[in-house]
Amino acid sequence: MTNLVLFGPPGAGKGTQAEVLKQKYDLVHISTGDVFRYNIKNATDLGTLAKSYIDKGQLVPDEVTINMLNAEVDKNPNAKGFIFDGFPRTEAQADSLSELLTSKGTEVSAMVALEVDDEVLVQRLLERGKTSGRADDADEGVIRNRIKVYYDETAILKNYYQKHDKYFGVDGVGAIEEITERLSSTIDKL
């Protein structure tokens, strides 16, 4: 199995690239953000809880995220692999993901990180906010807080995966096709 952790700050292009890589490598894309948005739109208990954190630019608690992730993996027993987008975000979550995959006879193949300058991220998210309907994309203060939370709480994962020789940084600026080519070059070497 090829199991990728697609990493990068909000607005780095993870969702766009995950869709392309999903098709190219026949993987199942699990975006915690998409799953949360579905639950929020349908006003489930999980959605209401997740929304209270997301609206403040905070991370959803681990227990909620991990239980949801396990259910998503279980829905796809014949998958060739997974793209985890938006998870893990902390060392504790990385350990939980490792335990989860080990229990299913597999492991994380690599963390592939899209690297993008903060000011580019802010502009991308403000632009996306004009059409996405997402409140967290429309407010520059919330956007900057999300980026700060990313660096404060999740950048540690770069070191975590580097220790396991599984971290690969990829330039996330340029045309979508150029970024896909850079990612594919890395994935094809795994």
Looking at residue 99, its pLDDT comes to: 92
Catalytic residue among 51, 89, 124, 182: 89
User: Residue 70 is part of a domain; what is its CATH number?
Assistant: 3.40.50.300
Distances 44 to 8, 54, 60 between C-alpha atoms, Å: 28, 15, 15
Q: Is 14 a catalytic residue?
A: yes
CA dist 177 → 57, 130, 131 (Å): 30, 24, 22
With contact defined as beta carbons under 8 Å apart, do 168 and 186 qualify? yes
Is residue 134 part of the annotated active site? The answer reads yes
* 124 labelled catalytic: no
- pLDDT score, position 19: 94
Examine the residue annotation and report whether 24 is marked as an active-site residue of this protein.
no
Q: Looking at the domain assignment, is residue 190 inside a domain?
A: no
Residues within the annotated binding site for ATP? 11-16, 128, 174
On whether residue 189 sits in a domain, the answer given is no
Kindly report, residue by residue over 63-98, the tens digit of the pLDDT: 778 877 888 898 899 999 999 988 898 899 999 999
Partners of 147 in beta bridges:
none
- Residue-level pLDDT at 157: 93
Is 144 marked active-site? no
**Within-domain flag for 63:** yes
Does the residue 45 lie in any domain?
yes
Tens digit of pLDDT for each residue in 119-130? 999 999 999 999
Is the pLDDT at 29 greater than 80? The verdict is yes
Reference 183, options 14, 31, 32, 30; nearest CA is: 14
How many domains are contained in the chain?
1
Which listed residue (22, 128, 144, 158) is catalytic?
128
Whether the pLDDT of residue 104 is over 80: the answer is yes
Q: Tell me, what's the pLDDT at 109?
A: 97
What's the whole-number average pLDDT of the chain? 91
Is the pTM higher than 0.75? The answer reads yes
Q: Is the pLDDT of residue 156 over 90?
A: no
- Residue-range definition of the domain harbouring residue 126: 2-184
Which segments are annotated as binding site for AMP? 32, 37, 58-60, 86-89, 93, 134, 146
What is residue 20's three-state secondary structure? helix
Closest CA to 113 of 26, 13, 181: 13
Average pLDDT over residues 152-169: 91
